[in-house]
Structure formats: structure tokens, C-alpha cells
Amino acid sequence: MLLNDEFKQINIRHMETNEIITNIGTLVLPLVTAAAGWLAGRRKQKNDFLQDLQSSINLLSSENKRLLEEITSANNEIIALRKENEELKASVDHLCSENTVLKDEIRQLKISLKH
């Protein structure tokens, strides 16, 4: 084992600069590109997630707008029905008053016919 270690030390001393750079590049370049790829992938994943959230927000917003329009329409219809109901109540009250008057007249006519 000692021989092997000494050989490596001697071998490194005798390497040319280009060989050292090539050896470092062979070891470091894959690590750097892997880290850059991971960071780019992570960023894309976050962007995709944000786009999905934005799409969900847009969908919910449009659904909320549609529901608000339906609620407004229903409220307007309720207001119109309440107004119509009040008019019908007033008409019924008027007819009841008229009916009472007519009953009194009929009663008086029956009394006058008996005498």
C-alpha cells in the first residue's frame, strides 16, 4: 500500500498542468453540472407550482364572479317578488274590505226584505 501511495505522490508531481486541469475538470464538472441541473429543476418545479396556484386562483376568481352574478340576480328577483307580494297583499286587503261592505249591504237588504 505504501508503494502505491508513494507512486501516486510521484505521479502527481510529474503531471503536466493540462493533465491536472483535465483530472479536476473530470471530477468537478459533473458535480457542478449536477448542482446546476438540480437548482434549475427545483426552480422550474417551484414555477410550475406557482403557475398551478395562479391557475387555481383564476378559476376560483371566475367561479366567484359567476356566483356573485347569480346571487345578485337572485336578490333582484327576490326584491321583485317581495314587491309583487306586497301589491297582492294590498289587493287582498282591499278585496276583503270590499267583501265586508258587500256582506253588510246584503245583510241590510235581507232585513229590509223581511219587513
pLDDT, one tens digit per residue, over 75-100 is 999 999 999 999 999 999 999 999 99
pLDDT, one tens digit per residue, over 6-34 is 445 545 555 577 777 777 778 777 888 88
Helix segments in the chain, DSSP class H: 2-14, 17-114
Is the model more confident about 57 or about 18?
57
Taking the C-alpha atoms of residue 27 and residue 23, their distance in angstroms, rounded to an integer, is 6
